[in-house]
Amino acid sequence: MDFNVRPSDAASQPGQRTPSPPADKPWVLVTGFEAFAGDLRNPSADLAQSLHGQDLAGHTIYSACLPVSFDDALPMLDRLLRPATTAGQTRRQPPTLVICTGLAANRLVLSFERVAINWTQARIPDNPGQQPLGTAVKKAGPAAYMSNLPVAAMAGAASAQGVLAEVSLSAGSFVCNQVFYGLMWRIHRRPALRGVRGGFVHLPWPVDLAPSGATCSSATLSDISRATRAAIACALHEGDGQLPAQAGKRILTRK
């Protein structure tokens, strides 16, 4: 499986093929974002790539990198979620979990988001230069969706790996929130995604990838990758009614 490191190319070329997740094996989708706002990289893409292809609790993790684009991010997510067909027959089951990740450059800890809002207020333009101000993510959609992941338990599992983690109540109002809201709208509205659980995780700059002078975590990318893997395992176990013991560890809460 090839990690799609140039999502903007795939999004801008209608004939470009999006790499396919496993056809028959249970799988987890993890997405990151391409670099934006003048940065040369985005650690959420590095995080997603670090998990790509790993086996966990009977699932294969499939990762992809989304464009930082209000027009293109959700269409690419749709392509990733669309069932594969061969000879007119559906071959790929939907993912068990969808974990979308993004960079929150002003934060110091791994943030498991609880709420996606139906509102876009872009403080800066996206990569193609669009800057929507005061628009709904989905017209006539509900004001907000809650993640249906066990976010507190996942943050506890991440914290048990030595990485500071929190439950956050704000995913902002940029492309990260748009993808989070769009994901939850699809899970609630599309029969093919019934039973899928999804949410969003913001990460800080890892100390080993942060640009000079940037606010960053004391954790490395490897630390954050290990903590995210533990959080995913926690969510998969929660689906079996068997949360790991460390999932109850005390965590921070961001309002």
Domain for residue 87, yes or no?
no
Contact 49, 118 (CB under 8 A): no
Catalytic, 113? Answer yes
CATH number of the domain bearing residue 225: 3.40.630.20
Mean pLDDT of 161-176: 97
Q: Where are the alpha helices (DSSP H) in 67-135?
A: 73-81
pLDDT for 96-124, tens place per residue?
Answer: 999 999 999 999 999 999 999 999 999 99
pLDDT for 72-81, tens place per residue?
Answer: 999 999 999 9
Q: ∠ CA 185-179-2 to the nearest 5 degrees?
A: 115
pLDDT for 193-205, tens place per residue?
Answer: 999 999 999 999 9
Residue found under tokens 């921070």: 252
Q: What's the domain count of the chain? A: 1
Domain for residue 2, yes or no?
no
Task: Give the separation between CA 93 and CA 81, rounded to whole angstroms.
Answer: 9
Catalytic, 52? Answer no
Domain for residue 209, yes or no?
yes
Give residue 148's pLDDT: 97
Domain for residue 178, yes or no?
yes
Contact 105, 36 (CB under 8 A): no
pLDDT for 53-87, tens place per residue?
Answer: 999 999 999 999 999 999 999 999 999 998 766 55
How high does pLDDT run on average in the chain?
A: 87
pLDDT at 139 over 80: yes
Give residue 82's pLDDT: 87
Share of the chain above pLDDT 70, in %: 81
Contact 155, 231 (CB under 8 A): yes
Task: Give the separation between CA 207 and CA 217, rounded to whole angstroms.
Answer: 6
Domain for residue 38, yes or no?
yes
* Domain span holding position 56: 25-78+93-254
pLDDT for 181-228, tens place per residue?
Answer: 999 999 999 999 999 999 999 999 999 999 999 999 999 999 999 999
Share of the chain above pLDDT 90, in %: 78
pLDDT at 246 over 80: no
- Token pair, residue 135, equals 């628009």
Domain for residue 105, yes or no?
yes
Higher pLDDT, 87 or 36: 36
Domain for residue 130, yes or no?
yes
Q: Which of 59, 202, 216, 234 is catalytic?
A: 202
Strands 165-168 and 110-113: parallel
Extended beta strands in the chain, E state:
27-33, 55-56, 59-66, 85-86, 89-90, 97-103, 110-113, 115-117, 120-121, 133-135, 144-146, 165-168, 197-203, 252-254
Q: Which of 65, 100, 176, 216 is catalytic?
A: 176
pLDDT at 92 over 80: no
Catalytic, 100? Answer no
Domain for residue 12, yes or no?
no
Nearest to 104 by CA among 173, 158, 6: 173
Give residue 6's pLDDT: 42
Give residue 1's pLDDT: 34
pLDDT at 5 over 90: no
